[in-house]
């Protein structure tokens, strides 16, 4: 390669290097001017770079001046009061206030069924009957025996002078025994009728006429659902808060949008050691008969609760000593230590030396310093609007 070509390539590389330096290395334009490169050449190679350097320098100087004079720009929000542990929500299962599984008092064959599913029955009403021929015969025999014993006893009383006192006494005993035998026969006959022990609504009848049943056979289930009992469990911290007759509100998946009122019926006497929960039973009125035993309920309770300062979640910061917030007083910032009590989606309840109305920084936290001055974003925006007008 000839010398002049090498020289030409070297000049091209040199110009490209200067252009790159002007673009990426601040202060290159001034250095080239000092070593004798004409100003208009420097401007022709990288006019934008020089402009940017100057603009950044001027902007940085103005920004530093504003920063040093007025402080960082922040957005604040006032502290308000928040309540913790003021409401409890739990899932529970409902049951009829009285529920009875009816079983026969004697074994036998079902001869008659007098009810069907969904019927309302009264206490003492006959639900079904077993075969009773044998018991009817036994009652007749007892009646005959009683009649014979009564006549014999009466005869001995009339002829006391002709019989011994022992014979009269035996006749009286026989009469009393015959009365008891008749009562037993009548009781056995009565027990062939299966009756309702409570007022209630009949469930599905699982037996049919002709079934042989025993004293353990389920004839039918009766539910008195004029009121519904709902059992649910609450966390241990509510153990000393829940009281008898305390109002409750319940909703059911089966009846969306409906709210049912009730009261606390019972509170268990111990906290479950495994789940650390306490069993509560609520009683809910069901005069309209819309609720059923076995339904699931969402039970809600309200309490006085505990009041704490409430701050925006963005305002809570952390350092080596724990959590804190920046409080603004008379345009000055100060760090206030806080202990988080409860986190909610839109607020954080804290335990701290804060009062309602205190201004807490929520945005612009990175440049806030202890006892430093700050500017409020709302004041800057208001001033800008005035200037625009």
Distance from C-alpha of 248 to C-alpha of 304, rounded to nearest angstrom: 14
Q: Is residue 279 part of a domain?
A: yes
Residues 226 and 149 in one domain: no
Q: Is residue 100 part of a domain?
A: no
If one counts every other C-beta atom within 10 angstroms of the C-beta of residue 168, the result is 16
Residues 243 and 331 in one domain: no
Residues 260 and 335 in one domain: no
Which residue's entry shows tokens 């002049």?
4
Residues 131 and 177 in one domain: yes
Q: Which of 344, 349, 376 is nearest to 76 (CA)?
A: 376
Residues 127 and 197 in one domain: yes
Determine the angle formed by the axes of helices 3-24 and 47-70, rounding to 10 degrees: 20
| Contact partners, residue 51, CB within 8 Å, separation at least 6 | none
Which helix (DSSP H) or strand (DSSP E) does residue 204 occupy?
Answer: none
Q: Is residue 375 part of a domain?
A: yes
Q: Is residue 181 part of a domain?
A: yes
Residues 131 and 208 in one domain: yes
Domain boundary among 287, 305, 323: 305
pLDDT, residue 171, reads 83
Half-sphere exposure in the Cβ direction for 381 (13 Å, CA)? 5
Residues 371 and 324 in one domain: yes
Residues 20 and 54 in one domain: yes
Domain boundary among 280, 305, 330: 305
Distance from C-alpha of 247 to C-alpha of 302, rounded to nearest angstrom: 8
Residues 329 and 286 in one domain: no
CATH number (domain holding residue 272): 2.40.30.170
CATH number (domain holding residue 365): 2.40.420.20
pLDDT, residue 165, reads 77
pLDDT, residue 64, reads 41
Distance from C-alpha of 179 to C-alpha of 221, rounded to nearest angstrom: 36
Which residue's entry shows tokens 């202060």?
27
Residues 234 and 195 in one domain: no
Residues 184 and 260 in one domain: no
* Phi then psi dihedrals of residue 114, to 5 deg: -105, 5
pLDDT in tens, 70-101: 688 889 999 999 887 678 889 999 999 999 99
pLDDT, residue 260, reads 93
Domain boundary among 305, 329, 346: 305
Domain that holds residue 120: 105-213
pLDDT, tens digit only, all 389 positions of the chain: 566 666 667 767 666 776 666 565 555 665 666 566 666 555 655 544 334 444 433 443 344 444 444 688 889 999 999 887 678 889 999 999 999 999 999 999 999 999 999 999 999 999 999 999 999 999 999 999 999 988 888 887 777 656 677 777 888 899 899 999 999 999 999 999 999 999 999 999 999 999 999 999 999 999 999 999 999 999 998 888 899 999 999 999 889 889 999 999 999 999 999 999 999 999 999 988 899 999 999 999 988 778 899 999 999 999 989 999 999 999 899 999 999 988 888 899 999 999 999 999 999 888 899 989 988 877 655 655 555 55
Based on the structure, what is the number of domains in the chain? 4
pLDDT in tens, 276-305: 999 999 999 998 889 999 999 999 998 877
Residues 170 and 143 in one domain: yes
């Amino acid at each position: 390669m000839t010398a002049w070509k090498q020289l030409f390539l070297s000049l091209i590389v040199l110009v490209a290097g200067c252009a790159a330096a002007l673009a990426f290395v601040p202060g290159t334009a001034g250095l080239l001017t000092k070593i004798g490169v004409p100003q208009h050449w420097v401007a022709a190679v990288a006019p934008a770079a020089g402009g940017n350097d100057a603009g950044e320098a001027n902007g940085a100087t103005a920004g530093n001046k504003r920063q040093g004079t007025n402080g960082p720009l922040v957005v604040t929000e006032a502290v308000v009061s928040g309540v913790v542990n003021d409401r409890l929500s739990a899932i529970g299962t409902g049951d009829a206030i009285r529920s009875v599984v009816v079983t026969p008092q004697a074994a036998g064959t079902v001869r008659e069924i007098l009810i069907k599913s969904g019927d309302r029955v009264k206490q003492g009403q006959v639900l079904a009957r077993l075969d009773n021929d044998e018991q009817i015969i036994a009652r007749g025999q007892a009646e005959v025996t009683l009649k014979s014993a009564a006549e014999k006893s009466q005869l001995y009383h009339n002829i006391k002078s002709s019989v011994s006192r022992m014979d009269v006494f035996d006749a009286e005993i026989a009469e009393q025994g015959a009365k008891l035998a008749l009562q037993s026969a009548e009781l056995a006959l009565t027990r062939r009728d299966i009756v309702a022990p409570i007022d209630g609504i009949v469930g599905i009848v699982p037996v049919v006429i002709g079934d042989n049943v025993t004293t353990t056979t389920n004839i039918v289930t009766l539910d008195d659902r004029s009121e519904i009992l709902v059992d649910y469990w609450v966390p241990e911290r509510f153990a000393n808060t829940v009281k008898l007759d305390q109002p409750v509100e319940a909703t059911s998946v089966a009846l969306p949008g409906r709210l049912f009122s009730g009261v606390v019926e019972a509170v268990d006497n111990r906290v479950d050691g495994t789940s650390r929960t306490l069993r509560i039973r609520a009683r809910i009125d069901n005069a309209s008969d819309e609720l059923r035993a076995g339904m699931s309920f969402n039970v809600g309770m309200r309490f006085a609760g505990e009041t704490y300062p409430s701050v925006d979640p963005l305002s809570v910061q952390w350092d080596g000593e724990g959590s804190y917030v920046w409080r603004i007083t008379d345009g000055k910032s100060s760090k206030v230590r806080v202990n988080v009590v409860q986190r909610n989606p839109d607020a954080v309840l804290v335990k701290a030396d804060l009062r309602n109305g205190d201004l807490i920084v929520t945005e612009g936290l990175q440049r806030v310093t202890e006892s430093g001055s700050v500017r409020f974003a709302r004041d800057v925006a208001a001033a800008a609007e005035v200037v625009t007008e």
